[in-house]
């Protein structure tokens, strides 16, 4: 009589809290100057949030995108990459974006 062993079930991944950035739907009171850092970062944030599922862009994705000299919308004269938190904070203070947390299941 052959005995069969049941395969151990893999444990389900536990949801983790993830910070996200989303747009409020309002626009700047006065348009930003063409090719200014504000205009380029605002345009990048709009594009990334629209492409994100449910309009909620994980902050880690934004930090990765804006965190390297090759993918940052614009570099200051010093050539050093600015921390994305400063730009996100600016857009939140202006009422253009919000920051929140959501539960997400990590992928393998």
Higher pLDDT, 2 or 66: 66
Q: Confirm whether 99 is domain-assigned.
A: yes
Is residue 59 one of the residues assigned to a domain?
Answer: yes
Q: How large is the average pLDDT for residues 26-48?
A: 91
pLDDT of the residue at 8: 55
Is 5 buried (19+), middle (13-18) or exposed (0-12) by CB count in 10 A? exposed
Judging by beta carbons within 10 Å of its beta carbon (0-12, 13-18, 19+), is residue 6 exposed, middle or buried?
exposed
* pLDDT given at position 14: 75
Token pair recorded at residue 10: 């893999």
**Residue 13 domain flag:** no
Is 32 within the bounds of a domain?
A: yes
Which pLDDT value is given to residue 6? 57
Enclosing domain of residue 89: 28-104
Q: Is residue 89 assigned to a domain?
A: yes
Give domain status of residue 16, yes or no: no
Domain count, the chain: 1
d(CA 45, CA 59): 11
Does any domain span residue 2? no
pLDDT band at 12 (very low <50, low <70, confident <90, very high): low
Note the pLDDT of residue 64: 87
Rounded-to-integer distance, Cα 27 and Cα 33, Å: 14
Q: Is 75 part of a structural domain of the chain?
A: yes
In this predicted model, what pLDDT tens digit does every residue of 42-97 receive, in sequence order? 999 999 999 988 888 888 888 888 888 888 888 888 888 888 889 999 999 999 99
Q: What is the pTM of this model?
A: 0.77
């Amino acid at each position: 009589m052959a005995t069969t062993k049941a395969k151990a079930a893999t444990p389900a991944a536990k949801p983790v809290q993830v910070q996200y950035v989303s747009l409020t739907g309002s626009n700047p009171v006065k348009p930003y100057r063409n090719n200014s850092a504000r205009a380029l970062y605002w345009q990048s944030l709009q594009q990334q949030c629209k492409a994100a599922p449910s309009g909620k862009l994980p902050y880690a994705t934004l930090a990765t995108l804006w965190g390297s000299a090759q993918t940052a919308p614009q570099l200051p004269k010093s050539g050093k990459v600015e921390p994305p938190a400063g730009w996100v904070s600016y857009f939140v203070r202006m009422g253009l974006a919000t920051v929140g947390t959501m539960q997400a299941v990590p992928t393998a």
